[in-house]
């Protein structure tokens, strides 16, 4: 393992992480809800889900965050790393997998681990494992990407 010190951004990563924790903390204390983005999107797709207005407003906040950011600084570089077929396959797997697994990086990785949920620990270990494995296969066995 070689650590990429040139791209390692410990302070902004830590500060960003703390903001994520505070945002999920605000949502659970004020609204009684888990800030799991896949769960919130899923509830918007389900007409029978409860608290859909709160879900919608949270997602609206997420959509508008880049515009608040733009008022103070330039947006960071954002570039897709795979072509359209890769994006389609990845999106399908992310959408279906997060709903079947009852959560994603936010709901399990941050909220679930903070409430010491054994389910979220298992889920996080699972998606981390296949995330690492997939990048290994794509970059080092198939030789694609950087």
Partner 1 sequence: MNRLTAFLAGLLFGIGLLLAGMADPAKVLAFLDLAGNWDPSLALVMGGGIVAALLPFTLARRRTRSLTGCPMQLPSKREPDRALVIGSLLFGIGWGIAGICPGPAVVVLGSGHLAILPFFVAMLAGMGLFRWYESRRG
Binding to partner 1, residues 72-111 (CB under 8 A): 75-82, 84, 86-106, 108-111
Q: Mark 115-134 with x for binding to partner 1 (rule: CB under 8 A) and - for no binding.
A: x-xxx--xxx-xxxxxxxxx
Selected from 71, 135, 142, 143, the binder of partner 1 by CB under 8 A is: 135
Q: Does 49 bind partner 1 (CB under 8 A)?
A: no
Q: Does 140 bind partner 1 (CB under 8 A)?
A: yes
Q: Does 66 bind partner 1 (CB under 8 A)?
A: yes
Within 3-42, the residues that bind partner 1 by CB under 8 A are: 3-4, 7-10, 12-35, 37-38, 41-42
Please state, in angstroms and as integers, the Cα–Cα distance from residue 120 to each residue in 36, 55, 112, 131, following that order: 12, 21, 5, 16
- Distance, in Å, from the CA atom of 20 to the CA atom of 43, rounded to the nearest integer, reads 21
- The distance of Cα 102 from the centroid of its chain, to the nearest Å, equals 13
What is the three-class DSSP state of 142?
A: coil
Q: Residues for the chain: how many in total?
A: 146
């Amino acid at each position: 393992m070689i650590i990429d010190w040139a791209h390692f951004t410990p302070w902004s990563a830590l500060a960003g992480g703390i903001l994520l924790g505070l945002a999920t903390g605000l949502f659970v204390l004020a609204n009684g809800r888990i800030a799991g983005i896949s769960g919130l999107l899923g509830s918007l797709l389900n007409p029978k889900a409860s608290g859909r207005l709160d879900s919608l407003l949270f997602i609206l906040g997420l959509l508008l965050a880049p515009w608040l950011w733009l008022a103070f600084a330039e947006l960071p570089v954002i570039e897709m790393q795979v072509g359209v077929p890769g994006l389609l396959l990845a999106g399908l797997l992310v959408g279906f997998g997060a709903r079947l697994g009852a959560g994603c990086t936010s709901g399990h990785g941050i909220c679930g681990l903070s409430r010491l949920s054994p389910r979220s620990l298992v889920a996080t270990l699972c998606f981390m494992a296949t995330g690492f494995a997939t990048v290994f296969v794509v970059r080092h066995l198939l030789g694609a990407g950087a």
